[in-house]
Structure 1
Amino acid sequence: MGSKSVGILTIGQSPRTDVTPSIEAILGHRVSIVESGGLDSLTNETVHSIEPDEWDTTYISRMRDGKSVKIGKSKLLPLLQAEMSALEETVDIVLMLCTGDFPTLQAKKPIVYPDKILNHIVRALLPSGSLGLIIPLEEQRESLLSKWQQEGLKIFTEVASPYEKSDIAGAARALQKQGADIVVLDCMGYNEQHKSEAVKGSGLPVLLPRTLVARIIAEYVAE
């Protein structure tokens, strides 16, 4: 069997040098990675075209130059679809590098949505109790509370961006004091250092999306 290829689709710009090394370390050298980004076709002069309107769902991601950018979901979707349609022609499986939901995207190849994996794993680990979420933006609070809502589960949220200097440990500590049983870093931008800070701050189990989904993809592409 030949080596497998994994497409990594960010909602920002590729390459995601802040994320991909974590995934490569888990997948191993026999798996090739091809990166693409929803905003790859935009420049610093045209990126304003995807700024979120007041009514739109807001995401945050990283540009090629390392700066973070807020993205309106409705403006992102057609750009993301075009990039994914091209990407999946060259890979065996696609990883969406975002914990948001994208039910309207059309795909011919298997596509891994971190939010679906996270949701099912949390339900398995915590059928009832209190879930603590650390999220990047205050304006995401209501939509994420709605996304995670399930019977028997209390949800607490704290804001600490992975793209700026933030008190991750303090946010996790606040969630622990509110009664959280487990913490989810609800963005693919959070890294291993952020997880370590959250564990030290709270003493709780902490789920890191980027490494969690990478391990599942590793199972899928294993020879």
Structure 2
Amino acid sequence: MRRTIGLIGIGEAPRAEQVAEIVRALPPDVAVVEMGALQDLTRAEIAQARPEGAEDTLFTRLRDDTPIEVSHRAVTAGVNRRLAELEAMGIGAALLLCTGTFRGIAFRGLVLYPSAILDAMVRAVFTGGRLGVLVPLPEQVGALTRKWEAEGVEVIATALRPGAPGEDVDAAVASLAARSPDLLVMDCMGYTAADRARARLGYDGPIALGISSAARVVAELIG
């Protein structure tokens, strides 16, 4: 039987670029079912799902590639609807396509959280020093980077919207590289391998990319 994993984005499906990043790391006999947390909502309903402050803000893109900011609570509710659909299909494993922290998720099978994967990997290799972090939105710089704080770790962060042109990547990386971080974390599933390659032009230290880290764990567990 061909193994299958659900990929649940926090916006609408399809997100071809994100899925391609995941599939590249998987064995050829693993199938994926892509879903979006907001795919069953109308445009009016999505517009009403506005975030209430930085802690409630997630960044994603709609099917037509429109960038939006959406409430974490609305996304969590949508993720649970998609997980229920996966259960009904007999699929027992799912990967969330977001490095945000989620609570209140209900699923009888295995849910892989990129936030936990990226956090564990970074903490396993980085015990102290200056940690550079890229996040999607300026208002998330404080809210999303507090999780990286630890004794002996100085966190520096800047915003880089996923899908931004190369010169924006250059500028964001340069602003961090000027402060000589010991490791750079690209803390969003919207950042791609191409973004990391561009970042390497301006920073020669180690880079942890959320989407490839999560994909490799998926391959290890179900490959």
Range moving further from structure 2, 33-42 or 52-61: 52-61
SS at match of 1:14: coil
Distance 2:77 2:147 in 1: 22
Segment of structure 1 superposing worse, 150-159 or 163-172: 163-172
AA of the residue aligned to 2:140: Q
**Does 2:198 correspond to 1:197?**
yes
Alignment partners' CA distance in 2, 1:176 and 1:55: 25
Change (3 A) 1:27 1:152: same
Q: Residues 82-121 of structure 1 correspond to what in structure 2 (within 5 A)?
A: 82-90=81-89, 91-121=91-121
2:137 matched residue in structure 1: 137
Q: Tell me how far apart the structure 2 counterparts of residues 169 and 26 of structure 1 sit (CA, whole Å).
A: 26
The answer to whether the 8 A contact 1:188-1:210 is kept is: yes
Deviation at 1:169, TM superposition (A): 2.3
3-state SS in 2 of match to 1:26: coil
Distance in 2, Cα, partners of 1:54 & 1:115: 20
Deviation for aligned residue 1:27 = 0.6
* TM-score relative to the length of structure 2: 0.93
- 2:171 alignment partner AA: G
Aligned to 1:181: 182
Q: CA deviation at 1:53?
A: 2.4
Letter in 1 for 2:212: T
Secondary structure in 1 matching 2:25? helix
RMSD: 1.5
Once the two structures are superposed, the pairs formed by residues 28-107 of structure 1 within 5 Å of their partners are: 28-54=27-53, 57-90=56-89, 91-107=91-107
Q: Deviations over 1:35-93 (max 9, x none)?
A: 11110112333320211124751000111111111111123222221122212443231
Q: Is the 8 A contact 2:54 2:143 kept in 1?
A: no
Which residue of structure 2 lines up, in the alignment, with residue 151 of structure 1? Answer: 151
Instruction: Specify every segment of 5 or more residues in structure 1 that has no aligned partner in the other structure, as ranges.
Output: none
Superposed CA deviations along residues 139-191 of structure 1, whole A, max 9, x for unmatched, are 11111122211121110001111133361122122212213111111100011
Answer whether contact 2:37 2:75 (CA < 8 A) is retained.
yes
Q: How far, CA to CA, are the matches of 1:71 and 1:191 in structure 2?
A: 21
Count of residue pairs the alignment pairs up = 221
Distance 1:7 1:30 in 2: 14
Identity %: 29
Q: Are the equivalent residues in 1 in contact too, given 2:54–2:140 (CA < 8 A)?
A: no
Amino acid at match of 1:50: A
Which segments of 5 or more consecutive residues in structure 2 lack a partner in the other structure?
Answer: none
